[in-house]
Amino acid sequence: MRQVSIIGIGQTRVNEHWEKSIRDLGVEAVLAALRDAGTDSVDALYLGNMLSGELSGQEHTAALIADHAGLGGVEALKVEAACAAGAAALRVGYMAVASGVIDLAVVCGVEKMTDRLSEEVTAALAFAADAEYEVAQGISFVSLNALLMRRYMHEYGVERSAFANFAVNAHRNAMNNPYAMFHMPITEEAFNKSRMIAEPVGLLDSAPICDGAAAVVLCPRSEAREFNERPVHILASAVATDRLAVHDRSDPLFLRAAYESAQKAYEQARVGPGDIDLFELHDAFTIMSALSLEAAGFAARGQGVRLAQEGEIALQGGIPICTMGGLKGRGHPVGATGIYQIVEVVQQLRGEAGENQVDCRLGMAQNIGGSGATVITHILEALS
């Protein structure tokens, strides 16, 4: 197996892109990544997307974007793993280059969500849950996370206000990210007073519905410096799964797939949680931030919220998270999120994060599909 490096990154601003189609967004991100890599051709395009058929009326999206990005004729495949589709596409691209089958690959994540009513988007997102035993009973992802948050509060004796700094931190970091959807700070008071969506989950607990695309270019590590003076190496790529339905899990407050994919990644990279300089976690809801920090080994069970309360998740804290705004501040165009996370880790490792720059050598990104049934973890290293 060959070692794999990232030699180019590209992204669109996350927003409500009324004037752009899913094709436009994907092509924009792919071309930006190719320019950054200094190449106009690749051997393959792998596309992460969750809902193009349901929300855009467009399937066969990998071939579509390859065609309009001027890459006609290359291998082009769509990869779906719910909200982890972006990281899943990266996993496929990583394996293709590592195996030697592909030399240059562009991996893109794209989602177009705002052309439909919020009720339609909510229903579409529920496709990632168990259709017969969750969705048919009226469950949505907001309500699933509300159940988890309520149980966490009960088990560990914490108030809803304990989650506030997850959202406050995300919005503070998004302020300096030109690609983020939100450029406005929020306060703990505003969090505590925010409108309830599914109690105890409020509006400011939740990542927004939005549009966006991000892309990276991969090549063998041995050739990386031929394209870019500051390549970033993929030190680990790991996937794990859990029971799809939350009620089938022995402990719903333990993200087993997050734990197992993180452990696999640590083993591949020969590092531990204490070696990680920043963590781009999947903060679709504040409860997921706490559960992810615990599952990945940065906090003991029930202590994830304390990292937020004590400021340890801030840029200068012990384990900075969501350094460019995360899903809450940057936005969560679901199939694109996993690639946005990778792009942001690359920015940090290249020293290109501006006012949000963290002193770092190792960065980790973890993308969660559904309520934790698929979790994909990547660890990246800055090459000296």
Residues taking part in catalysis? 83, 332
| Cβ neighbours, 10 Å, residue 250 | 8
Rounded Cα distance between 246 and 260, Å, is: 17
Q: What angle do CA 158, 194, 151 make, to 5 degrees?
A: 30
Contact 32/11 with Cβ under 8 angstroms?
yes
Closest CA to 335 of 32, 105, 124, 102: 124
Name the one residue in this structure whose structure tokens are 């050739």. Answer: 223
Q: Do residues 313 and 279 lie in contact, with contact meaning Cβ atoms separated by under 8 Å?
A: no
Token digits for 15? 């927003």
- For residues 91-101, one letter each, b for 16 or more C-beta atoms within 10 angstroms of the residue's C-beta and e for the rest, the string is bbbbbbbbeee
Q: Can you tell me which residue has the tokens 């601003």?
A: 13
Shortest CA distance to 242 belongs to which of 81, 88, 366, 374? 374
Helical (H) or strand (E) element with 293: helix 286-295
